[in-house]
Structure 1
Amino acid sequence: MVSLSWQGRMPALFELFELDLYDQRIKQALSETVDPRIVIVDIDESSLARVGRWPWPRDRVAQLIEALYLDYGVAVIGFDVLFSEPDETVQLSPLQTLVQGGGVLTAEMLDAMDGDARMAETLASFPAILAIAFDPDDADLAVGETGPALMVEPPLSDSLPIVQAQGVVGSMPLLARSATSGFFDNPLVDPDGVFRRVPLIQRYKDQYYPSLALAMWQSLLLSDSIKPIIESDLSGSYQVLTAIDAGGVEIPVDPQGAMLVPYRGHQGSFPYISAGDVLEGIAPQETLSGAIVLVGTSAAGLLDLRVTPVGPRYPGVEVHANVLSALLDQRFFYKPDFLRALNAVQMLIVGLVLSLTLPRLSVLMGTIITGLFGVGVVAFNFYAFSQLYWVIPLAGVTLLILMLYLFMQTTGFLFESNIRRQLSRTFGQYVPPEVVRSLEQVGAADQLRGESRQMTVLFSDVRGFTTLSETLSPTQLTRMMNIYLSAMTAVIHRHKGTIDKYIGDAIMAFWGAPLDDPEHAVHALDAALEMVAALPKVNQLLEAEGLPQLRVGIGLNCGEMAVGNMGSNFRMAYTVMGDAVNLGSRLEGLTKYYGVDLLVSEQLRDQCTDHCFRELDRVRVKGKQQAIGLYEPLAVMDSIEPEWAQRFSQGIEYYRSHEWQRAECCFKEVISLRHGVDGPSQVYLQRIQDLTASPPGVEWDAVFTHTEK
């Protein structure tokens, strides 16, 4: 068994934490029952009032011993008080007899007045264990005698760290030679002053002496020797004391020869009987008969108190009683031989399980798992302590669990913070700040991975940009694009859009990612309409700086798209891909053909029921065989559809039914109503002219095929 305190082997705070955890286990394991086999004969205030102040005359102590053995039939007596000085009290009865009779003082009368001789005679007839106290430092201290030494077979090596006493306070020689002695001091108090373990043997002048409890146990078994149990390595060079065999009972001890005190309960775990009651013969016979008796004191000024795991004011005599109770029950707390292996396995399991599981769990789930794991480890430790009497260190594994939890959570926090910074770098320039904050809450990993979603994509392009750029200096071109792109980006951000990229003068944006947006089509259309509406203000700013005015074309499409962090090992970008994206790009290109600022697909029109559209055409774009409908947004539904839009729709119907003249009239009327400008009407007038010159066949479906992007 290894020393409980591990002094000098660990930091003080860690050591105190381990000791405190040991105390908690002791308190949980208390039986809180009274052991009737061990009785404390108490020199209490009542005894002092009846017999006199302490120290009592030795003949009274002899009377107490005789009464306990002869009248009450106790098994063995141990004194938790010292008799280190001669009896200074004088018996008055012989002198009174001499004075009254006028006789001469004889030798017999002098012997009758010698209390020490009277007590020595009693001890020779009725064995009792007297107390001695060793001093670990004062080699000059030698009061009284120690009594007979303990026989140790086989002899102990001087290299073993058995407690070495320097001085002693024993019983006066006459008493020491008539009785067996046992020490009641404890030089192995833990650093916090708590009595958790007591030495069973001490070395003094190359002899070994038993503790008071061990001496009483040997007296009870009529044994005067112990057998130390030594473990050594194969070479025999390293030896350690692990247990002491006393009367056939193997007592686990640490290398210093100390055992852990297995406390039964709080103060009062053993019956108390007043010493005065014993002397007067009124003590309960059934309590003392066959009992192991410890004579101690609870009187004021004599009370011996100790700090123990079960209380800060615990009678020292009950510490000895607890050791005796453990010897009777053979109930010893100890550290098993396989402790190091058990502790290593325990630490390894805890380290591996928590290290592998905590990084994969959320903070809440990680806290729950850590808590359950900690409870399981503590429960196993308490079970081993209370049922198997194993003392397994708990502070190390407890701190390991706590440190792993804090480390993993701190690492997770730092990792999450890094992800948030990465997220901010990835999206900060492309999405509104509030979207970035939302992404930080839901996590970046889920958002950055590729997935398929229903989304809306926007493509915007400046008309005639190449020609404009040729007329401007690099500084002017940069300034123009900064003004334009800043204004358009602000509009997109206001409507929850994500900027995918700037392609020269072009803008690519999408809705529905990284955050899910059920109304992505509506938000995209609102943004596109506001971009068109904001262009006059942008042109005013450009004109004020002497820069040319701009026109734009915007294409919108919605559908299933692949979105995620895509790219190569050298560069990644969060973007969208798919046929729906390509169609959006085609629509932007067709705005030039139809002469409109904004063009949307049929799929987007179906998603925006609160807006009004005019159908422009049914076409096949380059790269696709399926016909799609093209629409131009007009206004919200609560507005009245303008007359020119109604006439345009009629023109479309006539056009598709081969009524070329009626269609032509409608489109010309639209141009007139729109003050001579309507790109789609101009397109249809040209088509009607071509179809009139070369009429189509019966298989004509009115779907126009575009051969350019």
Structure 2
Amino acid sequence: MIKGFSVGQRLVRSGLGILLTLLMLVPLIQDSRPVLLERFESDLYDLRLRQFLADDQDPRIVIVDIDEASLAEQGRWPWGRATLAKLLNKLFDEYGVAIVGFDMLFAEADRNVPFEALQQWLDSRPATAGSELSTQLDSLNPDRQFAAALEDRPVVLGYVFDRSTQQLQVGDPGSPVVGAGQLQGIPVPRASGVVASLDAFQATGIRNGFIDNPRVDADGVYRRVPLLQEYQSQYYPSLALAMILALFEEDQVIPVTESDGSDSVLVAVDAAGISIPVDNGGAVLVPYRGRQGSFPYVSATDVINGRASADVLEGAIVLVGTSAAGLLDLRVTPVGSRYAGVEVHANIIAGILDEQINHRPDYTLGVELLQVLLSGLLLSLLIPRTSVLVSGLLALVWVGMLSGFNLYAWQALQWVIPLGYSLFLVVLLYLFLQITGYFFETRNIRKLEGQFGQYIPPEVVAELSAQGDAVQLSGESREMTVFFSDIRDFTSLSEQLSPQQLTRMMNIYLTSMTAKIHQRRGTVDKYIGDAVMAFWGAPLEDASHARHSLQAAMDMLAVLPELNRQLVAEGLPEVSVGMGINTGQMNVGNMGSSFRMAYTVMGDAVNLASRLEGLTKFYNCPLLVSDETANSVPEYGFRYIDRVRVKGRFEPVDLYQPVGKRSELTPVQLTGIDDFSAGVRTYQQQRWDEADAAFRRYLRSDKDDYCAQMYLLRIAESREAGQQPWDGIYCHRQK
């Protein structure tokens, strides 16, 4: 198909493709991608993430799970602080864990109703009567028991920041990890309030980390979590980051920024010598290790009752959280739609420890712009120059290369390079360029049909469209074969008919003749009254132009009896025709004036074919061809008619009458061809007796042949005149 487009059309298509590419760059530069493409990019991110999930568990981090079994055995949530204190004491004293993080809030005091009633009773008694008992009861306070369990132990408590207009101020988030002003101008999430643990728990010197996520994607999926949030111009760590700092006994993180012109861009935070890549908002892409269960789970009730395996818990980093559906801590993640929120923190801790966190480097936009620009230029330049199949394969190969580079960057470099926008552009450009190609091709075909549709067969029009620039229409010299035909005595026939009858007769005749020309890949040049002019070898190259022309003429002669029967059936006269064919060099192309152009042929070879058609009446042969045509179709048997010089042409030409394919002729016909041809040649040599004998032999098989009888008369006249100087050429002054 591609050959059917001109250079200009291919340039237009390429230009439109490049323009579309440039327009597609605008949303990237402005960071305003369409929502659907953002969702597509997120889906591709999830797909890549799932391709590299691990099958084993990470034993370093253990999740103490408040599961359904724990709720059934220990009672409904929330549990009393005494129970949690017992859990904490078991973890450190009996199981020897390294650190404990609580993925939960302790913002309210434990309201034990019996204890409060007893305290009110004691308050109503004389002070001296209950002082000893009051001291005893104070020691039984659940919050005091939990605070005692927290004291001097590596524990991180969770809290949440508030972004509502209420600006809640419950508790203290603890110590900031980045000093004021260090991240000025960087879009770290900012909170207006906080809901933290009771001051009684904070007094123990424990650490805190926020457990809320203000960076959940628009589709509700947990793909990224901020490591820092700003509150009152100070920057506080997430639960995972706070646990990393506690493990290495560090109090601060060091922001790593790079200059972006006049602004600074946050690219990482350094925690205890570990560089953690983040985006400019301080968020980390959660390095999901696998589906839920990628870390060992231990039931909280088993820990409280001493049934848990010491081998699992000893020296482990412990996160206390819940997988119970009723406690509403299940998240939608790329690796599961009901994923325990506590395991999100576990994945971040593991990724930080392993320094295996995929991230978008600060030059991601540049890489994506280059990726999109290369895709647009490559496809815009190549697709208009290749076929649909080749361009489809090209697009698939390019998609494969983009995907391969993307996966290599993901796995080897830990880069998350956006892919969706580039893939969308590839598909869009492919469809756009193919559609524009279809419209151009349709336009080309219609143009060709308008120019040639009435003169050449539809399949040749299709080939013309396929070849496009390979077809020369402006004019050239080419070896071709030209054909002329004429109805004998047309003037007298037309005088006998009414205009309607004449029109009907010509429509029947020309339709039948044109059909035979088209069937043999010929081009009808024009109708000149009753005459038909056609040629072979243009606009498409045709190595067998002489053969196809001769076959068409023979087909016309073969169909003429049936055509005459149709004419007679409609009350119209029969017709007989004369046809001439010549092969040679001629000029072909669009010729004419500024008012009208026509695709036609000109030259001496064309004029000769017209003269041959005129000589058919003289020799009483329905079809005459030149020696050039006869020599080009050796499989046909030709009767050598004469060597003549026609009007307006000095060079003589040999005339032949085609009889049929040699393979289909009878021995009598083949012998007759040889006898007649021998008679003509001996006649041209003035060997009258041999020529006379040859023609008489021919007449035995065809006693009414006009040409043989004509030569016998010529021989008789020549004998009377005697031997005269002669070159054997018969001169026709009128034709």
TM tier relative to shorter chain: 0.7 to 0.9
Report the TM-score when normalising by structure 1: 0.83
Alignment CA distance shift 1:610-1:168 (3 Å): same
Which residue identity lines up with residue 115 of structure 1 in the other structure? P
Alignment match, 1:171: 197
Alignment match, 1:326: 351
Say yes or no: does 1:148 pair with 2:174.
yes
Which residue identity lines up with residue 48 of structure 1 in the other structure? L
**Alignment partner of 1:245 out of 270, 278, 281:** 270
Alignment match, 1:439: 463
Alignment CA distance shift 1:541-1:372 (3 Å): same
Alignment match, 2:437: 412
**1:162 offset after TM fit, Å?**
2.3
Alignment match, 1:130: 157
**1:277 offset after TM fit, Å?**
2.8
After superposition, give the CA deviation of every residue in 1:83-103 in whole Å (9 maximum; x if it has no partner): 1221234799xx9xxxxxx99
Would you say the 8 A contact 2:229–2:235 is kept in 1?
yes
Say yes or no: does 1:367 pair with 2:392.
yes
Alignment CA distance shift 1:66-1:577 (3 Å): farther
Tell me how far apart the structure 2 counterparts of residues 643 and 352 of structure 1 sit (CA, whole Å).
71
1:496-511 correspondence runs (5 A): 496-503=521-528, 506-511=531-536
Report the more deviating stretch, 327-336 or 563-572. Answer: 563-572
Tell me how far apart the structure 2 counterparts of residues 254 and 557 of structure 1 sit (CA, whole Å).
81
Alignment CA distance shift 1:567-1:34 (3 Å): farther
**Alignment partner of 1:631 out of 652, 657, 663:** 657
Alignment CA distance shift 1:264-1:626 (3 Å): farther
**Alignment partner of 1:660 out of 688, 695, 705:** 688
Would you say the 8 A contact 2:91–2:303 is kept in 1?
yes
Would you say the 8 A contact 1:134–1:168 is kept in 2?
yes
**1:121 offset after TM fit, Å?**
2.3
Alignment match, 2:706: 678
**1:500 offset after TM fit, Å?**
2.5
After superposition, give the CA deviation of every residue in 1:601-632 in whole Å (9 maximum; x if it has no partner): 45655777887654322446675757635225
Say yes or no: does 1:68 pair with 2:91.
yes
Would you say the 8 A contact 2:97–2:313 is kept in 1?
yes
Report the more deviating stretch, 561-570 or 581-590. Answer: 561-570
Alignment CA distance shift 1:503-1:350 (3 Å): same
**1:26 offset after TM fit, Å?**
1.4
Tell me how far apart the structure 2 counterparts of residues 239 and 340 of structure 1 sit (CA, whole Å).
16
Alignment match, 2:318: 293
Would you say the 8 A contact 1:553–1:592 is kept in 2?
yes
**1:61 offset after TM fit, Å?**
1.8
**Alignment partner of 2:446 out of 418, 421, 426:** 421
Say yes or no: does 1:269 pair with 2:294.
yes
1:16-95 correspondence runs (5 A): 16-89=39-112
Q: Which of the pair has the greater relative contact order for Cα pairs under 8 Å at 6+ separation?
A: 2
**Alignment partner of 2:401 out of 357, 376, 391:** 376
Say yes or no: does 1:10 pair with 2:36.
no
**1:259 offset after TM fit, Å?**
1.4
1:386-401 correspondence runs (5 A): 386-401=411-426
Would you say the 8 A contact 1:594–1:680 is kept in 2?
no
Alignment match, 1:99: none
SS at the partner of 1:126?
Answer: coil
Would you say the 8 A contact 1:598–1:633 is kept in 2?
no
- Alignment root-mean-square deviation, CA: 4.3
Would you say the 8 A contact 2:409–2:415 is kept in 1?
yes
Would you say the 8 A contact 1:496–1:523 is kept in 2?
no
SS at the partner of 1:125?
Answer: coil
**Alignment partner of 1:199 out of 218, 226, 246:** 226
Tell me how far apart the structure 2 counterparts of residues 542 and 684 of structure 1 sit (CA, whole Å).
41
Tell me how far apart the structure 1 counterparts of residues 498 and 69 of structure 2 sit (CA, whole Å).
114
SS at the partner of 2:581?
Answer: strand
After superposition, give the CA deviation of every residue in 1:289-330 in whole Å (9 maximum; x if it has no partner): 222111112235225110011111111001001111111112
Alignment match, 2:373: 348
* Count of matched residue positions in the alignment of Structure 1 and Structure 2: 687
After superposition, give the CA deviation of every residue in 1:363-384 in whole Å (9 maximum; x if it has no partner): 1111111101111101111111
Tell me how far apart the structure 2 counterparts of residues 600 and 47 of structure 1 sit (CA, whole Å).
107
Would you say the 8 A contact 2:177–2:237 is kept in 1?
no
Tell me how far apart the structure 2 counterparts of residues 157 and 663 of structure 1 sit (CA, whole Å).
117
Would you say the 8 A contact 2:319–2:346 is kept in 1?
yes
Which residue identity lines up with residue 209 of structure 2 in the other structure? G
Would you say the 8 A contact 2:578–2:623 is kept in 1?
yes
Alignment CA distance shift 1:66-1:666 (3 Å): closer
Alignment match, 2:23: none
Which residue identity lines up with residue 721 of structure 2 in the other structure? A
Would you say the 8 A contact 1:452–1:563 is kept in 2?
yes
Would you say the 8 A contact 2:192–2:231 is kept in 1?
yes
Tell me how far apart the structure 1 counterparts of residues 215 and 660 of structure 2 sit (CA, whole Å).
95
Alignment match, 1:98: none
Alignment CA distance shift 1:18-1:654 (3 Å): closer
SS at the partner of 2:358?
Answer: coil
Alignment match, 1:556: 581
Alignment CA distance shift 1:649-1:131 (3 Å): closer
Which residue identity lines up with residue 287 of structure 1 in the other structure? V
**Alignment partner of 1:214 out of 241, 263, 268:** 241
Identity of aligned residues (%): 45
Tell me how far apart the structure 1 counterparts of residues 466 and 29 of structure 2 sit (CA, whole Å).
49
After superposition, give the CA deviation of every residue in 1:58-113 in whole Å (9 maximum; x if it has no partner): 23322322332233332221101221221234799xx9xxxxxx998523311221
Which residue identity lines up with residue 62 of structure 1 in the other structure? A
Alignment match, 1:525: 553
After superposition, give the CA deviation of every residue in 1:96-145 in whole Å (9 maximum; x if it has no partner): xxxxxx99852331122111112212222213111112232242534x41
SS at the partner of 1:21?
Answer: helix
SS at the partner of 1:83?
Answer: coil
* 5+ long unaligned stretches in structure 1: 96-101
**1:645 offset after TM fit, Å?**
8.6
SS at the partner of 1:420?
Answer: helix
Alignment CA distance shift 1:13-1:569 (3 Å): farther
Alignment match, 2:253: 226
Tell me how far apart the structure 2 counterparts of residues 135 and 359 of structure 1 sit (CA, whole Å).
57
Which residue identity lines up with residue 100 of structure 2 in the other structure? I
